[in-house]
Amino acid sequence: MAARKQLKLGAFMRPVSIHTGAWRWPGAWVDANFNWPRLKRLALKLEEGCFDAFFMADHLAVLNMSRDALRHSHTVTSFEPFTLLSALAAVTERIGLVATGSTSFDAPFHVARRFASLDHISNGRAGWNIVTTSNPDAALNFGLEEHLDHDERYRRAREFFDVVTGLWDSFADDAFPRDAGTGTYLDPDRMRALDHRGEFYKVRGPLNIARPVQGWPVIVQAGASEAGRQLAAETAEVIFAAPGNLEDGQSFFRDVKARTAAAGRNPEHLKILPGAFVVVGGTVEAAREKRARLDALVPQANAMASLSIMLGTDAGRFDPDAPLPDDIPETNDSKSGRERAIALGRRENLTVRELANRLGGYGGLSFVGTPETIADGMEEWLETEASDGFNVMFPYLPEGLDDFVDKVVPELQRRGIFRRAYEGTTLRDHLGLPRPANRFFR
Amino acid sequence: MAARKQLKLGAFMRPVSIHTGAWRWPGAWVDANFNWPRLKRLALKLEEGCFDAFFMADHLAVLNMSRDALRHSHTVTSFEPFTLLSALAAVTERIGLVATGSTSFDAPFHVARRFASLDHISNGRAGWNIVTTSNPDAALNFGLEEHLDHDERYRRAREFFDVVTGLWDSFADDAFPRDAGTGTYLDPDRMRALDHRGEFYKVRGPLNIARPVQGWPVIVQAGASEAGRQLAAETAEVIFAAPGNLEDGQSFFRDVKARTAAAGRNPEHLKILPGAFVVVGGTVEAAREKRARLDALVPQANAMASLSIMLGTDAGRFDPDAPLPDDIPETNDSKSGRERAIALGRRENLTVRELANRLGGYGGLSFVGTPETIADGMEEWLETEASDGFNVMFPYLPEGLDDFVDKVVPELQRRGIFRRAYEGTTLRDHLGLPRPANRFFR
């Protein structure tokens, strides 16, 4: 029997959970934002489940929310990802560690250096999630009143990527003979100053750190726009995608893999991992009921605000205990959001309140069911070329994460579509990605 | 008997050692720049020795050296301090963790956030070494051709300090009620946006991280200039000083403690810790001989270059095996360096080669002797108000560090001038520093 195609699994984490109501779940670790032992415990459990990577979400600001939304939010403050992932590198042995690095609000030299250092400390487990940071609240924390426009952000991101990867190539792998007899620690012929002078950046180099263990840390991206897809096809090795259903997933997968081939790259070297919110129950009904209970913990103000934004109209004027009316006016604001919200309400026959809770909690792709039905769904995405795996989001912590590792992972392993043990030591090993050649040295 | 005044001890570390010849010492860990288990081992040993802090030296560039000096240098590349200290936070329990944060080449928001995060992960053990980064090679890595002048660097540093500490005060200690019943995770009345608009920085805030465990991480500085001393007196809690002898130490101590009092602060809340290079032997002679052997490992080109720079004249034209001649011409370049070099050569009756090796290895304050004579020296500095302790530099690793912990520390403990166990849990506890009040909240 031929080896089966393998799922790749990242864990997309915020310390308390992605779901806005999760901290109110009975037994949830409400203090995890600043409780290091809890984060250590979660990472070790994911490593026990052979996850490819621990992916730390991030923002560069306290987001501009209403006072009421702010009051209910557990995502406002937490560990900075780099310090957290470096600490996790010290207590884990195999799991990949992916952090966000902004191309708008940080210097390429700092970003290159820190990811290289994380890669050395973790012995080859770092990944860089390149984000262009569209958030205007972040701009205000860095002395900028106006945020860059979309096109300029992407041109800047592309140049930033070239500078960072160029800095990673500052030293050949054999640059350090460390020969005590002759006194030669470093061979200057195997070191190169980048001397970059581009549209946005002037950076001399060399980087003051040896080439990363993986050559380059794994390159991750999330952009879904035209410019985002193209940048990913040219540079990314993992895409954090956000399709809402299987058909959208297949269409995105086809498009990006084709762009990757057109860019002269092997499409196998770009892994597409949609975010997936997973709720595990003993029966499908029990799982759905769990999710409804969780969604009901989303504060009403937040939930209705989310629904109103998606519909482009004040949802407060509808009967909360009836389905959405048929005659919701079209607006210019948010056509796709409006359509998605209406379709979701119809498909699952939700009342306005239920729909608001759902969207206020987590509105994207989800698998809600038994370990078997969840594995069925993931297998279908894998087999029908809708994804190479998933960035799993857990409904509440630690219980939702433990459920996945203890119940879903063994089912995926039983089917032969997920590893039972790590085959290699680096994140590139886990993902089946090649080590990039050094542009300056063979 | 009254309790005796206590020494404070930091370890000033580069992974392979401060001394430029150290990597050639038999048994030295030449690969420590990128060998995480070795760094972990060193930090655990320092913690066994009850050191106040592990202090990671840093540069933001491969320094501009001759190819020949570069070839012999083990300090060109190593772990980035933040990733290293975060990893060390995960495997140690008490020792303080001090990193450098540049006020010239980083954003206050990033610096505030990372130090706050390190303080949370380490449960109150972070310290921020404020450096203004005078190195022009670093400027070229951040898109700047010209480096800022000295005065502007210090004005910028002062404003940077105000912004960072203001961001640390973004949240009251009781800002997070996390009440699942009412749904109140965060009390918006206990959060404050800084809204800083100054000469150099515009930063809105709030910081997206709770107030550090220590209120603020411990503030460390090293400037010895007029502007540096004044900034330290106003803001620092630890000074990394560099006096060459006891008299200079006493004079610096008096000056800075007086400035601190004049700034309205308690001089006890500013600890003065000179850097001290320590070589331990079974006899004083054996220790001196060890040091001479170590200095002889400094490559000749580097050693002669160091001496030439200090003298302001080419030292290669002197007889290497004779003492310095009497008639070395004065120059405009480096008057104080010239005088120090000449005085050192005369005091210890060194040949030109020996003097060059000494200066090329480590030219600053040193204690070379038995555990008893080293403890005598340190006690004298403490008792005569020349210092509050030391930032110890080890001649080679791990042996030089182990010697200090296993032999000198017990002697200091026996005399009652150094702790036998940590009294508290935070770096402020170790140093006897108060937790700063929050400027916005009581």
Average pLDDT over residues B12-20: 91
Residues 234-253 on A with a CB inside 8 Å of B are none
CB contact under 8 A, B209 and A77: yes
**Which tens digit of pLDDT belongs to each residue from B209-235?**
999 999 999 999 987 788 889 999 999
A60 contacts in chain B (CB < 8 Å)? 109, 208
Helix pair B81-91, A36-48: axis angle to 10 deg = 90
Q: Which of B24, B186, B204 sits opposite A141 (nearest CB)?
A: B204
The residue ranges of every structural domain in chain B are: 8-281+370-431, 284-363
B143 contacts in chain A (CB < 8 Å)? 107, 201-203
CA B68 to chain CA mean position, Å: 27
- In this structure, the number of other CB atoms found within 10 A of the CB of residue A119 comes to 31
3-state secondary structure of B288: helix
CB contact under 8 A, B208 and A59: yes
Q: Does B125 touch chain A (CB under 8 A)?
A: no
Interface with chain B: mutation pick from A74, A86, A133, A160, highest number of B CBs within 10 Å: A86
A154 assigned to a ligand binding site: yes
Q: Nearest C-alpha of chain B: how many angstroms from A242?
A: 26
A201 contacts in chain B (CB < 8 Å)? 143
The sign of the dihedral angle between the CA atoms of B285, B287, B291, B296 is positive
Nearest chain B residue to A27 by CA distance is: B180
- HEC string of chain A equals CCCCCCCEEEEEECCCCCCCCHHHCCCCCCCHHHCHHHHHHHHHHHHHCCCCEEEECCCCCCCCCCHHHHHHCCCCCCCCHHHHHHHHHHHCCCCEEEEEEECCCCCHHHHHHHHHHHHHHCCCCEEEEEECCCCHHHHHCCCCCCCCCHHHHHHHHHHHHHHHHHHHCCECCCCCCCECCCCECCCHHHECCCCEECCCCEECCCCCCCCCCCCCCEEEECCCCHHHHHHHHHHCCEEEECCCCHHHHHHHHHHHHHHHHHCCCCHHHCEEEEEEEEEECCCHHHHHHHHHHHHCCCCHHHHHHHHHHHHCCCHHHCCCCCCCCCCCCCCCCCHHHHHHHHHHHHHCCCCHHHHHHHHHHCCCCEEEECHHHHHHHHHHHHHCCCCCEEEEECCCCCHHHHHHHHHHHHHHHHCCCCCCCCCCCCHHHHHCCCCCCCCCCC
Single-letter residue type at B421: A
- In this structure, the number of other CB atoms found within 10 A of the CB of residue B65 comes to 17
CB contact under 8 A, A208 and B59: yes
A422 assigned to a ligand binding site: no
Q: Which one is the CATH code of B8-281+370-431: 3.20.20.30, 3.90.1170.50, 3.40.50.1390, 3.60.150.10?
A: 3.20.20.30
CB contact under 8 A, B36 and A120: yes
Q: Name the least confident of B40-49, B226-235, B327-336.
A: B327-336
**Which tens digit of pLDDT belongs to each residue from A222-234?**
877 888 899 999 9
User: Quick one: residue B183, left, alpha or beta (phi over 0 = left, psi -120 to 50 = alpha)?
Assistant: left
Average pLDDT over residues A184-194: 95
Q: Are B346 and B339 in contact (CB under 8 A)?
A: no
Residues A230 and A222: their CA atoms lie apart, in Å, by 11
B283 assigned to a ligand binding site: no
Average pLDDT over residues A259-278: 97
Q: Name the least confident of A35-44, A55-64, B103-112, B388-397.
A: A55-64
Q: Nearest C-alpha of chain B: how many angstroms from A171?
A: 10
**Which tens digit of pLDDT belongs to each residue from B50-66?**
999 999 988 888 877 78
- The predicted pLDDT at position B328 comes to 84
Q: Which of A72, A180, A299 sits opposite B30 (nearest CB)?
A: A180
A83 contacts in chain B (CB < 8 Å)? 82, 86, 89, 114, 117-118, 121
**Which tens digit of pLDDT belongs to each residue from B234-291?**
999 999 998 989 999 999 999 999 999 999 999 999 999 999 999 999 999 999 999 9
**Which tens digit of pLDDT belongs to each residue from B430-441?**
999 999 999 999
Average pLDDT over residues A141-166: 86
Nearest chain B residue to A300 by CA distance is: B183
Average pLDDT over residues A322-339: 78
pLDDT band at A326 (very low <50, low <70, confident <90, very high): confident
B135 contacts in chain A (CB < 8 Å)? none
Q: Nearest C-alpha of chain B: how many angstroms from A409?
A: 28
Taking 70 as the threshold, does the pLDDT of residue B1 lie above it? no
A179 assigned to a ligand binding site: no
Q: Does A66 touch chain B (CB under 8 A)?
A: no
Interface with chain A: mutation pick from B42, B80, B211, highest number of A CBs within 10 Å: B80
- The predicted pLDDT at position A316 comes to 87
Cα atoms in the 13 Å half-sphere on the side-chain side of B433: 32
pLDDT band at B333 (very low <50, low <70, confident <90, very high): low
CB contact under 8 A, B87 and A84: no
Average pLDDT, chain B: 92
Single-letter residue type at A306: S
Taking 70 as the threshold, does the pLDDT of residue A348 lie above it? yes
3-state secondary structure of B432: coil
Scan for tokens 């505030």, then name that residue.
B112
Q: Name the least confident of A178-192, B349-363, B373-387, B425-439.
A: B349-363
Taking 90 as the threshold, does the pLDDT of residue A75 lie above it? no
- Residue B100's DSSP bridge partners are B129
Q: At residue B200, what are phi and psi to the nearest 5 degrees?
A: -110, -25
Q: Which of B67, B80, B88 sits opposite A114 (nearest CB)?
A: B80
